[in-house]
Structure 1
């Protein structure tokens, strides 16, 4: 399962995903912490401080071929025989076998139909295989000779030995099937045939074996009669003699289901090999696998709105949501664990989940949790702060023994530096969209101890905000510049009706106006704006 927070992740989003995945793994699940964007400077400071690896970057959770329960059919090489392939397919109740080279790359496909047609339309008189295949397929015993390539014409001896010599039936390309007709066997040895298959399990005098060795003729003994051996011999041919090699269709395991479906519409193959990113064979896919696909399993933290989540979420199976924001628009097909609590941080909720499961919190995880809480509550200055947040921090710090004043200041200082960041980077690092009926609102928030740097680029910020407002069809686009030390925020904006700002915050709207005491987008900004839009 993948556990991740919202797009443009903040510290609470990342640390809660990491801490919850750690909890799930300790409970026996296979959880992977993910990020839906690059981590910010504050989060990097936290991860570096507690020596925690950053989560993997996840682009989408669309269903891929690797998510399907495709058949893990074992492949064969081109040197296996037709009869071996048939027996393998019959034993495993499969109808298709992939043929691969020494590097596990697909070179052909063989089906039960191909084998059946080879029995009906195949060349019964040609043999292209190796001695080992014949021994295994006919359950034979090697009397003289060694494994070698056998490529020749099949001759079933029923003629008198003098007739064989007279008609010159045998030569170095012949593979002879014969019973205990010793004169005929002698003639075959003299003709230096490639192979003699002695049927009926008969013994052969030593002189014939000696002559065969001298003439480089291999002899094997089989228990079947001559008729049966002659029926089976051409099935000892290499599978490469009948496999399909043209117009092979396959899918890579990372291909998306939507693309696979398009291919299935235009291509009528029954089975498709599945390959890894290096083109190596993994298994076989058919249409039934596509009709009932598995979905990626996900847990959402610190958000529950579609616009803030990952691409392809509608194709995933949401197992759980852990959040401290208002209930959004995400829907599920079945009941899930949905823990939504009015606390200052998602990390606070995760902390209490550890307590509920009676799982010990190690120092690294304690560092993640305390950082997420301090970040999202602005070290308890945010109005979203609760006594549960403070209690969690106190308990976690019993594990860590941090100087909270110094750690918080250093964390905020590292995170609020805007040095070498572009207008676009600053605006989008913590940008979220919200809907109120037909109206869409976009709110970005940046915490900084360097307000002067923002206002030096004020006109550029306003220009970018206007562009976003137009391109995304927002009713209002707002940049909240939060001064942690002054415990308030400056705003830059583009809005269709600025009286909404006046009523929402009791201010005279102007670019860069300071709103005292407003530090929480979730609790103090978005609800007021959406309420005013609704009443407008």
Structure 2
């Protein structure tokens, strides 16, 4: 499966950010990129909700951060070791994979424990008495498998061994054994007879000499007869290797990680741990593989495409740790840094969706009615229905082409869209300010500029003091030198600018605003990108 690609716009997304992400993800899928996801990194506003409902589109998924996680590691896949897997099988896996630790899972694949090479070494050295197979509920089939044995006759009465193990040297005449007991013997007819008379339920014969007579006697007495090609000595040595791994594995205080854990957090725990290898689990607790310190050195960064922004402060948390494949934008080139070449497309148009619509045409792909409707909505929103100074003839041309595909009247739909977007009814001051807020860094100044488009100036003036208080609190909490709220009205063709913060000297140099003033009307100003941000940047250069 190809790595996923995440497409998203800026924080506090406007209609262009949302619609560009959705429509560009659709274009990418049309071009053959199967694992592409268009999303958002903030809550949608009422205008965007109206657009999505109008064109029957779901709200895109919310991406909270793009930091690398456990699932992004090149973890080591490992063989499946179940709780009843014999130690010999585990040992063979360790030798083959050259690893000193493996996870043990339950039947459903969830983590049960961890077994290490030292655990197996201990088992070989210490577990050697005649009760060992019974004590650890060893499967009879495990014993036969480990000995490379063949069941010549009979069926052991239970799945797990429930008796002790004896050798022919420990047998004495008159010794009464039970149906669960096992006797290991070589090719000695006298010892065979002694084993049969003992009452043991199973006889294991070493070597590959014919057993016709013993087989007939075992069948008559309903004794299980097993033959192994190994020598008597090796058979005894292999016996312990048939016990289940659950007998020796570590099952308490396990240190493991889940695929959703962030790599930064994993590193902290690994550095403080005495262990070197750790299981990695999926969200259901099933084992994906093992990770070690070396896996944390290099990891797969999440692949992302940025639309409608290219500024770190406006992007998702963890963007500096992601692999940025593309940027599609209509803003100034800002401070996004990349570790490898990328496709960067920025054009001086009024809307990112204008660029994306052009890319549909360049690839000879006609957008669906829904995608055309979303891109048209973004253009009308960003250009204030062509009233913004950022609007270009290309925006208008593309908009009318999209309107034909979407089967809507540009003027009628545009008025409907702007009306919905400009309504302040039922909105709290916090929601008004946060709905389209962007952060900027101009030299030593950290500035937040929010913008709303409305024809409801009466409501704005009525809640002006509440807006200023919220802005002051936001500035203190987030360390802004300035917080600006642009209240733009296309019917008046101007913007009322509300201001709080200690960096007011920028407003004095940019717009001639008095130091004690908290608001200023800017006639003819409707664009944050083209008419406010450049002025503020110029004011910094003058300082």
Instruction: Say yes or no: TM over 0.5.
Output: yes
Higher mean displacement: 301-310 or 197-206:
197-206
**Equivalent position of 2:279 in the other structure:** 273
Q: TM-score, normalised by structure 2?
A: 0.91
> Is the Cα–Cα contact under 8 Å of residues 252 and 277 in structure 1 kept in the other structure?
yes
**Equivalent position of 2:126 in the other structure:** 121
What displacement does 1:274 show?
A: 1.2
What displacement does 1:149 show?
A: 0.9
User: 1:18 and 2:22 equivalent?
Assistant: yes
Q: Which runs of 5 or more structure 2 residues have no equivalent in the other structure? A: none
**Equivalent position of 1:452 in the other structure:** 458
> Is the Cα–Cα contact under 8 Å of residues 150 and 194 in structure 1 kept in the other structure?
no
Q: 1: distance between equivalents of 2:530 and 2:118?
A: 67
Q: Which runs of 5 or more structure 1 residues have no equivalent in the other structure? A: none
**Equivalent position of 1:156 in the other structure:** 167
User: 1:9 and 2:16 equivalent?
Assistant: no
Q: 2: distance between equivalents of 1:519 and 1:496?
A: 25
Higher mean displacement: 451-460 or 506-515:
506-515
Superimposed CA distance per residue, residues 142-188 of structure 1 (whole angstroms, 9 cap, x where no aligned partner) = 221145211443322247xxx7215x385556321123334433433
User: Secondary structure of the equivalent of 1:56?
Assistant: coil
> Is the Cα–Cα contact under 8 Å of residues 436 and 534 in structure 1 kept in the other structure?
no
User: 1:391 and 2:400 equivalent?
Assistant: no
What displacement does 1:504 show?
A: 3.4
> Is the Cα–Cα contact under 8 Å of residues 163 and 178 in structure 2 kept in the other structure?
no
> Is the Cα–Cα contact under 8 Å of residues 369 and 405 in structure 2 kept in the other structure?
yes
Q: 1: distance between equivalents of 2:217 and 2:503?
A: 107
> Is the Cα–Cα contact under 8 Å of residues 113 and 251 in structure 2 kept in the other structure?
yes
Distance 1:450 1:235, change over 3 A: same
Higher mean displacement: 492-501 or 34-43:
492-501
What displacement does 1:38 show?
A: 0.8
> Is the Cα–Cα contact under 8 Å of residues 41 and 416 in structure 1 kept in the other structure?
no
Q: 1: distance between equivalents of 2:501 and 2:265?
A: 41
What displacement does 1:507 show?
A: 7.2
User: Secondary structure of the equivalent of 2:67?
Assistant: coil
**Equivalent position of 2:322 in the other structure:** 316
Q: What is the root-mean-square deviation in Å for CA atoms of aligned residues?
A: 2.3
What displacement does 1:506 show?
A: 6.4
What displacement does 1:111 show?
A: 2.3
What displacement does 1:304 show?
A: 1.0
> Of 255, 268, 291, which aligns to 1:262?
268
Distance 1:151 1:21, change over 3 A: same
Q: 2: distance between equivalents of 1:192 and 1:518?
A: 103
**Equivalent position of 1:432 in the other structure:** 438
Higher mean displacement: 265-274 or 500-509:
500-509
User: 1:32 and 2:42 equivalent?
Assistant: no
> Of 122, 144, 149, which aligns to 1:140?
149
> Is the Cα–Cα contact under 8 Å of residues 298 and 318 in structure 1 kept in the other structure?
yes
> Is the Cα–Cα contact under 8 Å of residues 76 and 289 in structure 2 kept in the other structure?
yes
**Equivalent position of 1:165 in the other structure:** 173
Q: 2: distance between equivalents of 1:68 and 1:331?
A: 22
Superimposed CA distance per residue, residues 354-388 of structure 1 (whole angstroms, 9 cap, x where no aligned partner) = 22223332222111111111111111111111122
User: Secondary structure of the equivalent of 1:76?
Assistant: coil
> Of 53, 57, 67, which aligns to 1:52?
57
> Is the Cα–Cα contact under 8 Å of residues 311 and 336 in structure 2 kept in the other structure?
yes
Q: 2: distance between equivalents of 1:231 and 1:383?
A: 87
Q: 2: distance between equivalents of 1:41 and 1:176?
A: 81
> Is the Cα–Cα contact under 8 Å of residues 306 and 328 in structure 2 kept in the other structure?
yes
What displacement does 1:290 show?
A: 0.7
> Is the Cα–Cα contact under 8 Å of residues 345 and 376 in structure 1 kept in the other structure?
yes
The 5-angstrom pairing of residues 208-287 of structure 1 reads 208-213=217-222, 217-287=223-293
> Is the Cα–Cα contact under 8 Å of residues 385 and 418 in structure 2 kept in the other structure?
no
Higher mean displacement: 134-143 or 177-186:
177-186
> Is the Cα–Cα contact under 8 Å of residues 443 and 540 in structure 2 kept in the other structure?
no
**Equivalent position of 1:107 in the other structure:** 112
Q: TM-score, normalised by structure 1?
A: 0.92
User: Secondary structure of the equivalent of 1:57?
Assistant: coil
Distance 1:234 1:469, change over 3 A: closer
